[in-house]
Amino acid sequence: MNESICRILEWDSEFFDRKIASFTSPRLTVLELGEALDWCGQNAVDCLYYLADSGDIECCNAAERKGFLLADIRITLERSVTSYKSPFSVEDRRILRHAREGDLGGLRLIAGESHTDSRFYADSQFSREKCSALYKVWIEKSCRGYADAVLVAESAGKVAGYVSCHLKEASVGQIGLAGIDKGFRGRGYGTLLVHEALDWFAGRSISKVSVVTQGRNIKAQRLYEQCGFFTSAVQIWFHRWFTQKH
Give domain status of residue 129, yes or no. yes
Residue 55 has pLDDT above 80, yes or no: yes
Give domain status of residue 14, yes or no. yes
- The answer on 198 and 102 residing in a single domain is yes
- The answer on 91 and 57 residing in a single domain is no
- The answer on 206 and 107 residing in a single domain is yes
- The answer on 221 and 133 residing in a single domain is yes
- The answer on 217 and 182 residing in a single domain is yes
Q: State the virtual CA torsion across 176, 182, 186, 189 in degrees, nearest 10.
A: -50
pLDDT tens per residue across span 139-196: 999 999 999 999 999 998 899 999 999 999 889 999 999 999 999 999 999 999 999 9
Residue 27 has pLDDT above 60, yes or no: yes
Indicate the pTM of the whole model. Answer: 0.93
- The answer on 223 and 106 residing in a single domain is yes
Please answer whether residues 166 and 138 qualify as being in contact, where contact means their C-beta atoms are separated by less than 8 angstroms.
no
- The answer on 225 and 151 residing in a single domain is yes
Range of the domain at 29: 3-67
Give domain status of residue 242, yes or no. no
Q: Which of 67, 97, 123 is the last residue of a domain?
A: 67
Give domain status of residue 246, yes or no. no
Q: Determine the Cα–Cα distance for residues 241 and 245; give it in Å rounded to an integer.
A: 9
In total, how many domains does the chain have?
A: 2
* 136 to 93, 106, 141, 156, 163: CA distances (angstroms): 26, 10, 9, 23, 14
